[in-house]
């Protein structure tokens, strides 16, 4: 989970969330907004990208109000701000406005480091949101999710969930929340198995498996059943993308034993064998087409379209079609 420094007041004048893990960055923002709205239900929240924060915009957003309203100003991808806007932000850091919380999301690294250093020097509250590239980190994340949700899960259950779901933190968090909502008592490995390997008819991974195997009709059938039984659309798009990415990663990896490839690619060994079977006939062009389809579906189910089910059906058909783009 995200790590915080000693200054852990979400209503501090300045918070910087540093890293590239989107879920943790979003949670850092949500924590500040929730605290602000708990203090003032009418808090005004402005969520901006670098192209929306032109020179002078920050001064307008932070100018004194007759009603002294509380405000949260979120700046995403702060490392991409223009030089003139960075000057504005640095100037503001020296004299922050009462009742306003500024949240800077910064990827870390060299780009835009001057702004990050200035924020730290100004005493910013800092939340670390690093990419979780190691299986051990994802396992720790799952354990933390269950603790946060107030439930007990055995070590074997946590490991089974990571093995089944993979590296997508949003889907791991969603799966943990679903288990907590549906299951009473301690969550064990058998429960995880029933949900994510034993309930094939309602699994997002069944949809993904059939699609990447080019079996469009079966994938669509599994998709409709999954939606009917309450599987979240975002879990299905995540499973589709994960399935396509696994094929792309394995196809470009050096040959070797499943155990060696598992360590290199961050997959459980059993998944290496499955993906090897699924990747037959896939081409680099097919992977690119399928990934674009998954990205479009992801946008569609997150509010970019009117009908999430239709967006998912289009993606399933596109992925299955890409799987059939055999080499000539």
Give 57's contacts (C-beta < 8 A, 6+ positions apart).
48, 85, 88
End-to-end CA distance of the chain: 46
Q: Running along the chain, 328 residues long, what does each successive block of 10 average in pLDDT?
A: 65 95 93 94 91 90 74 94 95 91 94 95 95 87 95 91 80 89 89 66 74 90 80 86 87 66 67 78 89 92 82 94 65
What is the structure's pLDDT at 252?
75
Q: Are 44 and 69 in contact (CB under 8 A)?
A: yes
What is the structure's pLDDT at 310?
92
What is the structure's pLDDT at 204?
80
3-state secondary structure string across the chain: CCEECCCCCCCCCEEEEEECCHHHHHHHHHHHHHHHHHHCCCCEEEEECHHHCCCCHHHHHCCCCCCCCCEEEEECCHHHCCHHHHHHHHHHHCCCCCCEEEEEEECCCCCCHHHHHHHHHCCCEEEEECCCCCHHHHHHHHHHHHHHCCCCECHHHHHHHHHHHCCCHHHHHHHHHHHHHHCCCCECHHHHHHHHCCCHHHCHHHHHHHHHCCCHHHHHHHHHHHHHCCCCHHHHHHHHHHHHHHHHHHHCCCCCCHHHHHHHHCCCHHHHHHHHHHCCCCCHHHHHHHHHHHHHHHHHHHHHCCCHHHHHHHHHHHHHHHHCCCCC
Identify the sign of the CA torsion 21, 23, 25, 28. negative
What is the structure's pLDDT at 268?
66
Q: Are 142 and 161 in contact (CB under 8 A)?
A: yes
Does the predicted TM-score (pTM) go above 0.75?
A: no
What is the structure's pLDDT at 68?
61
Can you tell me which residue has the tokens 């055999």?
Answer: 326
Provide the edge-to-edge strand list for the sheet that holds 100-106: 3-4, 125-129, 14-19, 100-106, 71-75, 44-48
CA angle 204, 208, 214 (to 5 degrees): 150
What is the structure's pLDDT at 122?
94
What is the structure's pLDDT at 239?
87
């Amino acid at each position: 989970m995200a790590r915080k420094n000693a200054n852990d007041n979400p209503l501090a004048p300045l918070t910087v969330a540093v890293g590239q893990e989107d879920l943790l960055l979003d949670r850092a923002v949500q924590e500040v907004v929730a605290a602000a709205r708990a203090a003032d239900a009418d808090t005004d929240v402005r969520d901006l990208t670098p192209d929306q924060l032109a020179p002078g915009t920050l001064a307008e957003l932070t100018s004194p109000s007759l009603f002294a309203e509380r405000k949260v100003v979120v700046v995403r991808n702060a490392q991409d701000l223009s030089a003139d806007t960075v000057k504005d932000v640095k100037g503001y850091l020296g004299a922050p406005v009462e009742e306003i919380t500024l949240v800077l999301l910064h990827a870390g690294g060299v780009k835009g480091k001057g702004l990050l250093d200035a924020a730290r020097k100004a005493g910013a509250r800092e939340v670390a949101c690093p990419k979780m590239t190691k299986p051990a980190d994802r396992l720790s994340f799952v354990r933390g999710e269950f603790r946060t949700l107030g439930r007990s899960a055995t070590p074997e259950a946590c490991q089974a969930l990571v093995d089944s779901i993979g590296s997508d933190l949003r889907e791991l968090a969603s799966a943990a929340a679903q288990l907590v909502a549906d299951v009473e008592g301690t969550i064990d490995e058998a429960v995880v198995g029933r949900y994510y390997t034993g309930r094939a008819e309602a699994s997002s991974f069944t949809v993904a498996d059939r699609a990447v195997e080019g079996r469009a009709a079966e994938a669509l059938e599994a998709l409709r059943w999954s939606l009917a039984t309450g599987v979240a659309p975002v879990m299905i798009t995540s499973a589709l993308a994960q399935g396509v990415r696994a094929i792309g990663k394995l196809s470009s990896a050096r040959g070797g034993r499943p155990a060696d490839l598992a360590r290199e690619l961050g997959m459980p060994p059993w998944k290496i064998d499955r993906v090897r079977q699924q990747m037959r006939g896939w081409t680099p062009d097919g992977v690119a087409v399928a990934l674009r389809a998954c990205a479009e579906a992801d946008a569609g189910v997150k509010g970019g379209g009117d009908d999430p089910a239709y967006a998912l059906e289009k993606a399933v058909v596109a992925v299955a079609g890409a799987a059939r783009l055999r080499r000539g």
